[in-house]
Every structure is written in structure tokens, then in C-alpha cells.
A and B are shown apart, each in its own frame.
Chain A
Amino acid sequence: MTGPILALRGVSKSFPQGGLLDRLLGRDSRLVALDDVSLDVMRGDVVGVVGESGSGKSTLASLAVGLARPTLGDVLLDGQSMAELMRDHAGLWRRRVQMVFQDSSSALNPRKSVDRCLGETLALRGVPRAGRESEIAELLTLVGLGPEIGPRLPHELSGGQRQRIGLARALAMKPEVLIADEPVSALDVSLQAQVINLLSRLTRELGLTLLFISHDLALVRTLCSRIVVMRKGAIVEQGACLDVLDRPQHPYTQTLIAAVPKGLAGRRKTWPAPSAVAPETREDIHGAA
């Protein structure tokens, strides 16, 4: 039995809050974004991390990818501590764990063509110049794009295409773990399905481990095998995705599920009684028409 590919052990993360004046006056306060979180992600797991703003799900993503360090506790990659790995081989961590961001337009350099963006990433991995062109073509095919996209700049691409380039750039490092932070929330619904299906296919074909950060429970249900529900910096419930969504144990998970729009089935049958004080009418205010 091998250990988890990615593990959080008692991780807390806090940020200083308030301005310079507060600090000078010794009114030190810190915003606790993650509070003693432990999580094991096994190789090949597709884990959905859900929660509302302020739940700490994006902080968890930046810790996992190595963009932030824990205030307390440790993050382990394949059993190796982040504290040690980052000191000696920071590049190794970043190669093995890659990230896809929410806003594809700000995640790509507006002055670099797709070819250049992917080429530079391949260079970082040590791919010799001669091999880059063919690998770029492979990457583009992998994310469902044609070679004609290569010379284009980000603004010449649609939102869906840009998000695929973000994905191709992450895959160019041949990562073992992919962190996707709200990768489809800025896309139109008709494009969301395309990108979700693509992510699903790639994780299967490449044997990737995926941490999918999202506020959309229905998307998580479609894509993920496991789910982690976060609230105010802590994990309140986790387990097999369908189990948790069909039989939520924590009240907060139940609240999240109840808030998902359900179309006709979600129409309210009863309404609160009208308030005791009748509202002023239009006629009261502006006179009869």
C-alpha cells in the first residue's frame, strides 16, 4: 500500500490583517484562512473541494501547488515535506504539481502567443528546442485544439479556448497532480460541459490526480470520486462524492445542497404570511393613475 500523493497534516494558514497603523500600535490581528486542516489525496483520486467564499478552498489550492507556505503544519508530496522540498528542490515540487486558474485571461501573458507560452513551459521542463514544436502540437491535440491556434495571442482566443491553453500549459510539465481552481466558473454553460468532459477524459487517460476547487456541487458530482466540504477554513465533511451528496451528514452540506437551483422542482409551494403592516401601494405614494 502506497501512501497519499498529496497530504496536508494539521495545516493552518493565516494572513496579517489591518493596516500599517494597526501594526505600529500593536493591534495585531490575523485572518485565519485555514485552521488545522488534514487531508489525504491518493494517487488517481479526483477530489472536489467545495465551499463558499471565505471557506479556505482557494488557500488550500495555493498551498497544494506551492504558491503559499503553511503557517503551521506541513504539506507532503509523495511523503516528502514541503518545508524540505521547497528549500532544496522548489522546481521539483512545481513540476509535479501544476495549476489551472479561474480567469484564463489574466493567467496568460497577453503578449505571448500560444506557441511561445507552451514553448517556454517545455523549456522549463528541459525539452530541447528541436523537440518542442512536435510536443506543442501534441499538447494542443490533447486539449482538443488544432495547430492553427499556435500563433494566436490570448485575446484572439475565446474563453473556452483560453482555458484549454491554461490546461495545456499545466500538462506541458507532465505533472502528477493537477489543481484546478474554479476552472469553468467564468465560462458560459455551453462551454463548461466541454471543459469538464475534457478534464474527466484527461485525468483518466493520463492517470492524473485532480483537486477540483468549485462552488458548483452538480459539477463536482459529475467529475469527482471524492468530495471535501469546507467552511470557514475547516473541513466539515468528506467522503465518496455520491455518498456525501445523496446523504449529507453535516448541516452545512445540507444547506449547500438545498441552495442549488432546481428549476420547476425548486419552486416554493408555500410563502411566508404577509407582514403585519401592509406595504404602501403605488397609489398611496403617487396618487391614482
Chain B
Amino acid sequence: MSPALLSVEGLRVGFRSADGGIVEAVRGVDFSVAPGEAVGIVGESGSGKSLSMLAVMRLLGAPARVTGGRVVFDGEDLVAADEKRMRALRGRDIAMVFQDPQSSLNPALTIGRQITDVVRAHRDVSATEARRIAAESLERVGIRDAGKRLASYPHEFSGGMRQRALIAMAIACRPRLLIADEPTTALDVTVQAQIVDLIAELRRELGLAVVFISHNLQLVAEIVDRVVVMYGGKVVEDGPVEAIERGPRHPYTGLLKACVPSLSGPVGPLTAIEGAPPRLGRLPAGCPFSPRCPDAIETCAREMPALIAEAGHRTACWRPR
């Protein structure tokens, strides 16, 4: 196996709470991404999926901060890197696309200016050359008449085109890793399908590694090689997409699949996961899913099961399926 491009080791992210204590939202997360690999991180709100990736990019804002662990990118620990180094890496080696394309763009600057700014921050090129690169990037993400579109402002683009422009910005310097955080949640379903296809296509064409964060397992399963399932700030399952789809071992993954209806098969009441997602600071000592788990035994609430690997498929459960 090739050495990992990104390796997240025992990552912890905490918030300082009102009483001066630390409330942890990411509680010891381990996973890695190989060069060129596409990994889906799946979980509901509060699972810690977005915070983990913001920590990788070192984009956590106060009061959140990394309270432990390492983020190793290409042999270098990013948690220890200084801000100057991170600025050099962001956009050039690791790029990120966010959920809301509207708020990720500066409404007062043209699309072209925003892409050329990124290009010139990382490459020693003339203004003319930067514009050529920007136009080429826009064209690569499927925007027609790219040369003319450089002069457009974000409000002149539709939601789908804005997300394409942000992806163009992300790939302009050919990063090795693209992190996409719910990039299609704000978009209509038909546009969502196009953006997902685009990311998969770029990955093949440019040899990018991709981390795709989503709450929708069915969506990521269409394009990733491996799925990491998070719950309550922990990785509960991590395996090849085929294994996760056909035979999930953690009860949460199984229920997550079952509670989303499909367009085929018999119609009946949906499988519901009882209870509510965990609240930070009120997590059980053991498995965070144990209060809602139909398979839970006494041990589950008391002790956190280790993430045990078996043929490249890791599960943290006392009673795996």
C-alpha cells in the first residue's frame, strides 16, 4: 500500500465552554487518504465531520481549536505548521469547496479576479497568463464562454455555476487533495447530480485525491472508493464503499442506510432511528450511539469500543453485525 497523502491521527477538536472547561466535538479521529483516492465522510450534524476537515485546513475559528492529535500531509504535521506555511499549502496543495457557494465568493469582485488572485498567490505568472489559466480552469469545470465569463460577478451566476466557479478556483493550481464539504446541499437535485459528476471527472482527469463530506450515504457512494462514518465525534466505521453499502457492520451505518427511502421496492413505514442526535458535552462514556442503538448491551454505554480493522474494514462496535 502506498504511503498516505493525508493521515489524521487521534485528532481532537474542542470548544472552551462558558464554565471554562473544554467541550470536545471531535474526540480522537483516525483515518487516512491515499494519493488519488476518493473518501466519503458521512455523518449527521454534530458528528464532527466538518470540524475535522476544517482542522485539517487549519481554518478553525475561535473558540474551536485542536486539542490533540496530528494531521500529517505528505509527511508534514500541519497542526504544528506555522500560518505562513499553511498559506502556502492552502490552494496549492490542499483546496476546499464549501456548502454555500454564495457566501464563499466575494460579491464585489469578478469571478475572474477571484480566480486569478488564487493563481498569482501560488504561481509566478503575469496578469495575462493568470487570466488564461483562470479561463482554462472555468472551461474545465464546464462553464461555456469561459473567457467572457471571467468578467461576470457572482450574482450573475446561478447557484450551480457559482459552485463550478469555486471548483475552478480550487483546481487552478492542481492541488493534490480536494476537500468538498457538502458541496451540493444548497443546490437542486439535478444540479447536484452534475456537480457530483464533475468532481468525479476532475478526480480522474487530474489525479486528485478527494474527501467528500456529506450526510447522504447514497450520494457519496456514487463516487468514492471508501466511506468513513462518523457519529458523536468518533469514527464508528470505515471501509470500502462496496462493503459499507452491501454489509455495514456498525448498527448506526445500517440504520442510516435503512432510514433513507429509495425509489424502488415496497412502500411502508420508514425505519426510524429513535431518539435525537447526541448533544456535545452530554455524551456517554462508551459508544456515542449506544443510547439510540437497538443492539446496545450494558457494556456499550460504559466503554468505547476500539476501532478494529478486519481486511481493510474498521468498525468500532461491541456487537458488530
Q: Which A positions have Cβ atoms within 8 angstroms of B?
A: 52-53, 158, 160-161, 188-194, 196-197, 200, 215, 217-219, 221-222, 242, 245, 255-264, 266-268, 271-272, 274-275, 279-282, 285-286
Contacts and interface: CB of A to CB of B under 8 A. Distances in A.
A157 to B, nearest CB: 10
Interface of B: 44-45, 92, 123, 136, 140, 173-174, 176, 188-190, 192-193, 196-197, 200-201, 204-206, 215-219, 221-223, 241-242, 245-246, 255-256, 259-263, 267-274, 276-277, 292
B204 A271 contact: yes
A221 B263 contact: yes
B123 A222 contact: no
Contacts of B223: 267
A259 B277 contact: no
B176 A282 contact: yes
B188 A53 contact: yes
B273 A190 contact: yes
B222 A261 contact: yes
Contacts of B193: 258-259, 261
Contacts of A197: 269-270, 272
Nearest to B173: A285
Contacts, number: 129
A260 B221 contact: no
A245 B263 contact: yes
A128 B274 CA distance: 36
B229 to A, nearest CB: 12
B190 A256 contact: yes
Contacts of B259: 189-190, 192-193
Contact of B45 (A188, A281, A286): A188
Contact of B267 (A53, A222, A261): A222
A221 B263 CA distance: 7
Contacts of A160: 276
A286 B206 CA distance: 14
Contact of B123 (A271, A281, A285): A285
A223 B204 CA distance: 39
Contact of A257 (B215, B222, B263): B263
A215 B189 contact: yes
Contacts of A268: 197, 200, 222
A135 to B, nearest CB: 26
SS class, residues of chain A in contact with chain B: helix
A267 B40 CA distance: 14
Of A189, A197, A215, A259, chain B has the most CB atoms within 10 Å of the CB of A189
B317 to A, nearest CB: 17
A160 B273 CA distance: 12
B241 A280 contact: no
Given A189-B44, A190-B256, A267-B222, A218 B189 contact: no
A264 B219 CA distance: 9
Contacts of A285: 123, 173-174
Contacts of A242: 267
Contacts of A261: 192-193, 196, 216, 218-219, 221-222
B21 to A, nearest CB: 21
A52 B206 contact: no
Given A193-B273, A215-B188, A261-B221, 8 more contacts: A190-B273, A192-B260, A194-B272, A257-B263, A262-B262, A263-B222, A266-B221, A268-B200
A150 to B, nearest CB: 18
A100 B177 CA distance: 42
A266 B205 CA distance: 20
28 contacts: A52-B190, A158-B276, A190-B277, A190-B292, A192-B260, A192-B270, A193-B272, A196-B270, A197-B269, A197-B270, A218-B262, A219-B261, A221-B263, A242-B267, A259-B189, A261-B218, A262-B218, A263-B218, A264-B222, A264-B241, A264-B246, A266-B221, A268-B197, A268-B200, A275-B140, A275-B205, A282-B176, A285-B123
Contacts of A218: 260-263
A221 B212 CA distance: 28
A260 B263 contact: yes
Given A197-B270, A262-B222, A189 B263 contact: no
A259 B194 CA distance: 9
Nearest to B159: A53
Contacts of B267: 221-222, 242
B276 A264 contact: no
A110 to B, nearest CB: 19
A263 B245 contact: yes
Of A158, A161, A218, chain B has the most CB atoms within 10 Å of the CB of A218
A60 B218 CA distance: 30
A272 B200 CA distance: 11
